[in-house]
Each structure stands twice: as structure tokens, then as C-alpha cells.
Chains A and B, each alone.
Chain A
């Protein structure tokens, strides 16, 4: 029990903190002032992840943790790494929210409670090793995010986006639940390890083989099980792909991203993705990752995901090209980034050893996924933060035309926005480039040359719409009489931007250090699967 509390520390901090925030908000006389405590809670949770890093260093540690959790949650470095991204994203988003909500007269304490509980849900989802836990985490996370999307109560777009997100999200959750139920029905387990073990063994009904025609009946049942498992896998993929906004489950993304208050948009782009990719890593690689064993029929998911990846990149980028709103462009680009991450994800089940023998191709790819998530988190929060900073109440920076001439009027704000946009575009010294580089390398290591080419072609398309922001800011003057964005005065946002900018630069200057951490993070979590798959 004591162990368990220790392992749960990042989640416990957030959960307890969320309740306290609720109480504080209920008893305090005027609204506001909760942003900093919320950010502190998130950072404390992040610090707890760092502190626990060494408690997850060996297989013995993991085994002890697994027995403490009874197979509900995984306590390993993958979880800690993802939790760290979630804590970082949540903390920075609440700092941004402090200034943004004030400026736009939306400041109400519920936002901070919601963000804190949503983060706790994200962490649960990221660490879940049981299908029930996956569902609980997913719902905890989603409810918070739905409500945050609808936070601009008087704004029709916010309501529309939230409703769409909620309806489609519930549908996706139902798909996930249906898939889980099928898996439970076929195997009798909800925990991933149990499902995996049950699938790995050939189907056996005691006494059936001895009866007349029993062997045939058994083989029919075996076939039925295999087919149903594939169906279940597709349903689970659909449910999780919805959360990362992969095409064709992306319909909600632009509306929800545009309608939500910008800090919430930054938050969900980053943390929800991290959590959902964590869950995918556990479920897909953990259960169906074995492409050689009994579950090999369901091992076809990488091919499926590769197409999802390409579709997400292509549709995300092409539609982003034609947007007139920067926020919406960032939403579509988030779909494309999801595609890039999926491209690395496709390689994660590969169990061949890398030349030289340290680690497998799959581990390296999983590390690329984690690295990308971290890089995307800092660049994206920075980009949304800079976009927030560029506008003030009534003079918001939404469309490209709003920021025309910003480079002349407010060079510092324009520089900040360009900086993060260039990182998202993947221009070399920034971290976004190294993230893409890692994905390409992983794809090439597994001989997915076409995927690498698709990725690079898409990133060239992406450069066009990212550049348009720079073009508007530096090379255009606002049309006479048009609305123009006026930056808000906000030390809080500046602080966040400086912090993220430093991270972008540091990670870009020494990517090997951070990639090394990512590699450490997946070493124990992804290895057992890989080892099992090697004949």
C-alpha cells in the first residue's frame, strides 16, 4: 500500500490538488488567482515523476510495482516520461490560461479544477495496463477536456466544437469499450498481460478434442476467436486514433481546437496526444505486438497504422494549406503531426536488434515517438502561447490577416511566434527538426522507405503554410480598416514563452541527451515484448 501511494504520487498530487482547488474556488470571494497554484501542482507532479525515475530502473522494481498495482497500472519509465510531458503541458497551459482567461473575461475557477483532473486522467490513460483502467483514464481525461472546450459559454463556436467533440468522443469511447468487451469475451481477461497470454496459447476447451469431430470444432472456434480479436483490435485502434485525431477520425479536431479557449487548445493538442499514444503503446505493442506468435493475425496493425499515418499527414497538411485562421491551421497541422508520430509508431513492434546489439529497432522507434511528443509539446505550447500573446480582448489574433504587419508593429511578439512556428515546421537548429529526423531514421531502419519519403514530402508541404504566418507578419501591411491584432501585456505568457523557447533551443542543441532519456524510458517497457517475439 505504501509502495502503491509512492508509485501513484504524480496522479495523487493532481487528484488531491484538484479537490483542494475546487474547495478553494468555492470558498474564495472573488474569481481568479488559481492559475499559479494549478501550474505549481502540475510542476510538483512533474517533479515527482523525475524523483521516481530511479525507482523504475530495474526489472525487479517493475515487478514489485506491478504486484502492488495488481496489473492495473504500469509503473515504468515510459509512464513517467509520458506523465512528465503531461505535467509539463498542463502546467504551461495553466500558466497561459491565467493571463488569457483574465484578458478575455473568462476567469472562473472551474477551468483549473478541470485541467487538473484532466491531467490526472491523462496520466491514468498513459499508464493503464488494464482495459478497464484505459477506459476510466480516457473518460476522466475526456470529460475535463470536453468541458474546457465549451468554456467560452457565450460563444457559439465554442459550444459547437464542444458538442461535436463530446458526441463523437462518446461514440469513439463506445467503440473502444466494445473492442474491450470483445477481447474480454474471447480471453476472459481485462488486463493486458492476461489477454496477451491467453491469445498466445492455442484455444483449448477441456474434453472437446476427445469428442467426435472435436478437433474440427476446436479449429472453427480458433478461427472465430482470431477473427473476433482482429475486429476488437480495429475497434480499439479506432477509439484511440480518435483521441490523437488521426484521419479518418479527425472530424472533431478543427472545430474543437478553434472553439476552445486557446490555452485549452494548447493543452489538448499536447497532453491528450501524449496520453493516447501511451495507451496505444501499451495496448497495440503490448497485446498485439507479437507478429510471429499466435496473435499474429492481429499483428497486422502496423500496416493499418501506416495508412492512417499517411492519410493523416496528407489530409492534415492539404487542408491546413487552405485555412484562413491560424488557430485552425494549427489544428490541421496537429493532425499532420499526429501522422508523423504514427509513422514512427508503426515501427515499434519490430524486434530486430539494431546493428551493434544495444536495443531493438522497435525500442528506438518508441523512443522516437516519446521524443516527438516532448518536442511537439514544447513547440506547440509555445506557438499557441505566442498566438495568444499576439492578441488582446476584441483584437484577437485569429486569422492570417490579423497578424499582418505584426513584425513591424511588435517585433518581439512576432519573433516569438516565428520561433515556434519554425520549430513546428522542422527547420534544422530547432528541436522540431530533430524530432522528424528521429522518425525518419526509425522508418528507414525498418525499411519503411516509402513512409520516410511520404513524411518528408509532407513536411515540405507543411513548410508552405507555416511560412505564410511569417510572410503575413513580416512582409504584409494590414489592409486599411481591417481588424488587426494588438498584443496583450502579460508577464505570465512571456515567462511561459521564454521557458518553452529555452527548452526548444536546449533540446535542439543537445537532442542526444533527451533522446537518450527517451531510450531509457522505453528500454524496459518495450523490451519484454520484443524479446518474446524473437524466436
Chain B
């Protein structure tokens, strides 16, 4: 987290990753519509190049700490807006997940989308640019631009290529997200204006590290935190702001659902972790138990509603609400295990929910229905399909040796031990307030959520794949074709790989999660000192965590 450990990048790798798909997307708009092969080749080619390039980010990332591949240039100096990019352990895997899934999604979904492929590929690529940009941005204005830019391609993907009720879902998605982020914009501008008033050089700044130095009186801090939190909570989506998600997922085409669930939702949790909580540690600490409570409510509510669904895609959509509750809970626990688990679970959810949407898309393409009651005994006619489905289900419900287990386990342990999730119950003038820890309670709710998850997923699997093959329409169903198979195999490998060797991934997450917590605690101690009535600027030393490990020599 410290600016000092950041090293500048000479290769502009992040810029390449961000802009290559956007440029390719605009280029595709000028390609002839009549040659779908060319469109597909360009789209996939760019996606694969991106993925290859993004693997370079992983070089030397083990145990590395601080921001890497930093690019910092002026963009709009008079408004204090910089072109500031960088990644660390919190965002690294999100970028790789994006670049990994986009070509995969393009590859798979171009099988079922036949009309207007040009627009589809272009929108996907532009969407990829915006998502990577949002993960890499270290300037709040830049972040906001990417954040809003994501909406338009997703809006088009849902609205043009979606199901029967697509327009309603697309507009709801757009308005919901846009309305949420306007308060964030006001908060950002307010912070930039305050920074100008306090800064020695009197300049506006939207830079992450500059805004990090701002401290606010308690009530202001709470309002600002809420302004950020609403924007991110809608994206996550946190209960009770989740109502756009089932509509968007149900109506979106398979590829849109995959990207939406696998990557876009992660921007919400990422935003909490990167921006909302470190900027406002005092407020987020105060509201922390509420957030944890809402996360648990989301876990249980999502699971409960998923159980009652008859539409397979809606079931997975509600399971997303439940799973994202876990991620939020891990973050708000502010323990190393919990937060590492949250980042890991973001990846896991991306992989397994992405795979689930893909699998549901497979049978939707064949039968044009997703009603659970229409199916039964599919394992007999589609053995490979059943195999993959069961494997992904195991990952989704967190069976040991799959990725889901590791993530959920870390989150629940982290929550159980979370000291910061506490509420004062008795204030003694002499010894200060006494607290009651709520961690174990939240952990118990979350564990209950795991149980529910197993119930609804297994019940659905049982209904669809086992039992008698009663519906005659299902007798002649084709098993997975090569296109679907090539899409699923990488996902299945990832599921098992993360399940067996999670340390390959967590070792590049843990150091930055640790310094994230250290810095959060440090800033929280400073800003919760009583006595400030106006915004003020914290010094470098205020923000420096007391115990500080030497950066490992492997740091890039």
C-alpha cells in the first residue's frame, strides 16, 4: 500500500492491457459484417494476446508487496486528474481473471450468438478494457471514468442479445448502477476540493495516495463512506440492494452473465477493499458490524431464495448473492485470513459461477428452457455434461479439494477470529468501553449458509441429472460439443488446481492483504482520536503502520 515501495514501469504493461482491447473493439466496428470468421479471429486473437500479456504480471509476484507496474502521468493537471495505474496483490488476480475469462467467454458464446456478432465482440472487448482499467486505476477520477464506461457495453450486451424481458433488465441494471455511483462522484469531488484547501501547494487531487491522507470529522466521514458504500454495495450486490441482479442475469446472454458474475461483481468488493474502507477507516469500523450483518443476511437470503427457484439461471443468480456475501464478510472481518479468503473467493466465484452459467447456457441452447422441472435423468444422455456439472457444483458448494472449500474456509476462520467486528455494550469511565465480539456469531451464520448452499445446489443437480429420464424431449440431447468442452476444461483445471494448491495464489495475495490491514488499523487509530471539527491532512508518519516488514527482495 505504501507509495514508497511502488516502482515505475517502463514497459507500460498495464496501459497495453487496458487499451489494446478497446482499440481492437473500435477497429472491429469497421470490419465487414459478412465475415464472422474474421470477427471471431480478431476478437479471440486479441483476447488471447491479452491473456498472454497479463501473465507477465505474475512474474515475481510471489510474496511481493506494494504497487507494481506503476504508471503515473499527468492527464488533466488543472483538475488534479492523473493517469495513475498500478496493481498489487488485491487487484493482480482480478486482472488475470478478466483476461482469462474474456477470450473464453467469446469462444464459447459465439457458438450460440449468431446475429450481430460484430457488436457483441466489440462490446465485449470494450467492456474488458473498462474492467481492467477500473482494477488498475489509482486515480479516483480515472477509476470513476472506467467504472461508468463499463455500463454502456454491458447495457448493450444485455439489451440486444438477452432474453425476452431484456430491455427491462438492461435499463434496470444501468439506472441502478448509475444512480448508485452519483453519490460517489459527489464524495470524490468533495474530497478533491477539501484536498485543495488543505494541501500546501493548493492543487486539486484525485490521486489515491493524496486522498488517502485526508481525515474527516466523524459525521462527515460517515456520510462520505456511505456515498462510496452505496455505489459499491449495489455492484456487489449486497442485500438489500441486490434486486437488479436476478433480472440482469436471467435476461443476459450466457456470455454476459458469465462476465457480469465473474468479473463485474468483483469490482464492488474490490472497491470496498481498495477505496471505501482505507479512505474511511473510522466510519467503516463503526458501520462494520452492520455490513457484516447485511452480508450474513445476504448469504442466508440468497441461499433461501435460490432454493425456491424453478429457473436454473435465476437459481445461480441468487447463489451469486449468497456467495458475494461471503466475500464481503471476509473483507469486513479485516483479518489476514478473512481478507485473503475474500480475494481468493472472488477468483473462485468467478471461475465456478462463470462455469455454472456456461453450463446452464449449454442446456438452454439445446432446449430453450431453463425450468428445472423440464429436466431429469440427464446424466444418462449427457454424461460429460453431467460430469462437469457435478464437478463445478462441488466447487460451488465448497467441497474439500475444490477451490470453493479453501476460500470459504479462510473466510469463516477469519470471521470467527475477527476482533474488529465488535460492539460496545458497557462504557466504564475509568477503563473505557467494553466490547462484545460478534465474529463467532457471523461465522456461525456463514457456516449455515454453506450448508444451505449444499442443499439447494445438490437438490437442483439431483433433479436435473438423476432420476428417471421422464421427459421425452430430453432423450435425444447432444452431449457437450468441442467448443463447449474446450471452454470448460480450463475452468475445471483451475477449480482443482486452486483446490489442491491454493498457496500458489495466496502467496501473492497475503503480503498486500497484510499491509492493507496494517495501514487500515493505523489510519483508524489516527482518525478516531477525538477533537477534529474540520477536515485535516494526515502526515506520512500518521499513515505508516508501526510494525513494518522489510520488503522482500523478490519485490518487483
- A467 CB → nearest B CB, Å: 6
Could you tell me if A475 and B186 are in contact, using CB atoms closer than 8 angstroms? no
Could you tell me if B76 and A512 are in contact, using CB atoms closer than 8 angstroms? yes
Picked from B144, B183, B202, the residue with its CB within 8 Å of the CB of A456 is B183
Q: Chain A interface: which of B145-153, B232-240, B472-480, B510-518?
A: B145-153
Any A CB within 8 A of the CB of B73: no
Closest to A456 in B: B182
Closest to B118 in A: A411
* Assembled-state Cα–Cα distance A511/B192 (Å): 17
Any A CB within 8 A of the CB of B494: no
Closest to B74 in A: A512
Picked from B160, B178, B182, B185, the residue with its CB within 8 Å of the CB of A475 is B160
* Assembled-state Cα–Cα distance A440/B191 (Å): 12
* Assembled-state Cα–Cα distance A353/B445 (Å): 54
* Assembled-state Cα–Cα distance A512/B82 (Å): 12
* Assembled-state Cα–Cα distance A355/B196 (Å): 6
- A450 CB → nearest B CB, Å: 11
Could you tell me if B149 and A355 are in contact, using CB atoms closer than 8 angstroms? no
Known contacts: A427-B152, A428-B148, A510-B76. The answer to whether A456 contacts B160 by CB under 8 A is no
Could you tell me if A452 and B78 are in contact, using CB atoms closer than 8 angstroms? no
Any A CB within 8 A of the CB of B38: no
Any A CB within 8 A of the CB of B404: no
Chain A residues whose CB sits within 8 angstroms of the CB of B186 once the complex forms: 440, 444, 449, 452-453, 456
Any B CB within 8 A of the CB of A441: yes
Could you tell me if A427 and B170 are in contact, using CB atoms closer than 8 angstroms? no
Chain A residues whose CB sits within 8 angstroms of the CB of B27 once the complex forms: none
Could you tell me if A440 and B167 are in contact, using CB atoms closer than 8 angstroms? no
Chain A residues whose CB sits within 8 angstroms of the CB of B196 once the complex forms: 354-356
Chain A residues whose CB sits within 8 angstroms of the CB of B174 once the complex forms: 463, 467
Any B CB within 8 A of the CB of A164: no
* Assembled-state Cα–Cα distance A467/B167 (Å): 11
Which bracket fits the contact residues of B?
35 or more
Any A CB within 8 A of the CB of B189: yes
* Assembled-state Cα–Cα distance A286/B310 (Å): 68
Chain A residues whose CB sits within 8 angstroms of the CB of B78 once the complex forms: 512, 515-516
Any B CB within 8 A of the CB of A429: yes
B143-176 interface mask toward A, CB cutoff 8 Å, 1 = contact, 0 = none?
0110011011001100110000011001100110
* Assembled-state Cα–Cα distance A355/B198 (Å): 8
Chain B residues whose CB sits within 8 angstroms of the CB of A213 once the complex forms: none
A467-494 interface mask toward B, CB cutoff 8 Å, 1 = contact, 0 = none?
1101100111000000000000000000
Closest to B144 in A: A428
Could you tell me if B79 and A511 are in contact, using CB atoms closer than 8 angstroms? yes
Chain A residues whose CB sits within 8 angstroms of the CB of B189 once the complex forms: 437, 440-441, 444, 452
Could you tell me if B77 and A356 are in contact, using CB atoms closer than 8 angstroms? no
B365-384 interface mask toward A, CB cutoff 8 Å, 1 = contact, 0 = none?
00000000000000000000
B102-116 interface mask toward A, CB cutoff 8 Å, 1 = contact, 0 = none?
000000000000001
> Which residues of A from 417 to 473 have beta carbons under 8 Å from B?
422, 427-429, 433, 437, 440-441, 444-445, 449, 452-453, 456-457, 459-460, 463-464, 467-468, 470-471
Could you tell me if B182 and A428 are in contact, using CB atoms closer than 8 angstroms? no
Chain B residues whose CB sits within 8 angstroms of the CB of A475 once the complex forms: 159-160, 166-167, 170
Could you tell me if A474 and B148 are in contact, using CB atoms closer than 8 angstroms? no
Chain A residues whose CB sits within 8 angstroms of the CB of B155 once the complex forms: 467, 470
* A-B contacts at CB below 8 angstroms, number: 89
Chain A residues whose CB sits within 8 angstroms of the CB of B170 once the complex forms: 471, 475
* Assembled-state Cα–Cα distance A481/B438 (Å): 64
Chain B residues whose CB sits within 8 angstroms of the CB of A427 once the complex forms: 148-149, 151-152
> Which residues of B from 180 to 194 have beta carbons under 8 Å from A?
182-183, 185-186, 189-190, 192-193
Could you tell me if A512 and B148 are in contact, using CB atoms closer than 8 angstroms? no
Any A CB within 8 A of the CB of B197: yes
Chain A residues whose CB sits within 8 angstroms of the CB of B149 once the complex forms: 427-429
Could you tell me if B202 and A440 are in contact, using CB atoms closer than 8 angstroms? no
Known contacts: A356-B202, A427-B148, A475-B167. The answer to whether A444 contacts B190 by CB under 8 A is yes
Any A CB within 8 A of the CB of B179: yes
A70-105 interface mask toward B, CB cutoff 8 Å, 1 = contact, 0 = none?
000000000000000000000000000000000000
Any A CB within 8 A of the CB of B203: yes
Closest to B191 in A: A444
> Which residues of A from 175 to 234 have beta carbons under 8 Å from B?
none
Known contacts: A428-B149, A452-B186, A476-B167. The answer to whether A357 contacts B175 by CB under 8 A is no
* Assembled-state Cα–Cα distance A467/B178 (Å): 12
- B363 CB → nearest A CB, Å: 26
- B234 CB → nearest A CB, Å: 12
Chain A residues whose CB sits within 8 angstroms of the CB of B76 once the complex forms: 510-512
- A370 CB → nearest B CB, Å: 15
Closest to B33 in A: A411
Picked from A408, A459, A468, A512, the residue with its CB within 8 Å of the CB of B182 is A459
Picked from A429, A463, A512, the residue with its CB within 8 Å of the CB of B77 is A512
- B16 CB → nearest A CB, Å: 19
Any A CB within 8 A of the CB of B201: yes
> Which residues of B from 239 to 297 have beta carbons under 8 Å from A?
none
Known contacts: A356-B203, A429-B149, A471-B170. The answer to whether A457 contacts B160 by CB under 8 A is no
Could you tell me if B145 and A428 are in contact, using CB atoms closer than 8 angstroms? yes
Could you tell me if A512 and B79 are in contact, using CB atoms closer than 8 angstroms? yes
* Assembled-state Cα–Cα distance A356/B185 (Å): 24
Closest to B161 in A: A475
* Assembled-state Cα–Cα distance A14/B192 (Å): 44
> Which residues of B from 184 to 223 have beta carbons under 8 Å from A?
185-186, 189-190, 192-193, 196-199, 201-203
* Assembled-state Cα–Cα distance A467/B179 (Å): 13
Could you tell me if B171 and A464 are in contact, using CB atoms closer than 8 angstroms? yes
> Which residues of A from 125 to 159 have beta carbons under 8 Å from B?
none
Could you tell me if B202 and A460 are in contact, using CB atoms closer than 8 angstroms? no
Interface centre among B145, B175, B183, B189 (most CB of A within 10 A): B189
- B200 CB → nearest A CB, Å: 10
- A426 CB → nearest B CB, Å: 9
Closest to A415 in B: B29
- A373 CB → nearest B CB, Å: 19
Could you tell me if A356 and B201 are in contact, using CB atoms closer than 8 angstroms? yes
Could you tell me if A457 and B182 are in contact, using CB atoms closer than 8 angstroms? yes
- B80 CB → nearest A CB, Å: 10
Known contacts: A356-B203, A460-B178. The answer to whether A429 contacts B171 by CB under 8 A is no
Chain B residues whose CB sits within 8 angstroms of the CB of A512 once the complex forms: 76-79
* Assembled-state Cα–Cα distance A408/B77 (Å): 41
Could you tell me if A355 and B190 are in contact, using CB atoms closer than 8 angstroms? no
Interface centre among B76, B145, B198 (most CB of A within 10 A): B76
* Assembled-state Cα–Cα distance A452/B185 (Å): 10
Chain A residues whose CB sits within 8 angstroms of the CB of B182 once the complex forms: 456-457, 459-460
* Assembled-state Cα–Cα distance A449/B223 (Å): 12
Closest to B142 in A: A428
* Assembled-state Cα–Cα distance A441/B196 (Å): 12
Could you tell me if B201 and A429 are in contact, using CB atoms closer than 8 angstroms? no
Could you tell me if A444 and B193 are in contact, using CB atoms closer than 8 angstroms? yes
Chain B residues whose CB sits within 8 angstroms of the CB of A457 once the complex forms: 179, 182
> Which residues of B from 405 to 437 have beta carbons under 8 Å from A?
none
Name 9 extra pairs, CB < 8 A, besides A356-B201, A449-B190, A467-B171: A355-B197, A427-B151, A428-B144, A433-B148, A440-B186, A456-B183, A459-B182, A474-B156, A476-B167
Chain B interface residues toward A at CB < 8 A: 76-79, 116, 144-145, 148-149, 151-152, 155-156, 159-160, 166-167, 170-171, 174-175, 178-179, 182-183, 185-186, 189-190, 192-193, 196-199, 201-203
A-B contact pairs, 15 of them (CB 8 A): A354-B202, A355-B202, A427-B149, A427-B151, A427-B152, A428-B144, A428-B145, A429-B149, A440-B185, A441-B189, A449-B190, A457-B182, A460-B182, A467-B174, A470-B155
Which 9 pairs across A and B sit closest by C-beta, in order of nearness? A356-B202, A456-B182, A428-B145, A460-B179, A512-B78, A355-B197, A355-B202, A475-B159, A512-B76
Chain A interface residues toward B at CB < 8 A: 354-357, 408, 422, 427-429, 433, 437, 440-441, 444-445, 449, 452-453, 456-457, 459-460, 463-464, 467-468, 470-471, 474-476, 510-512, 515-516
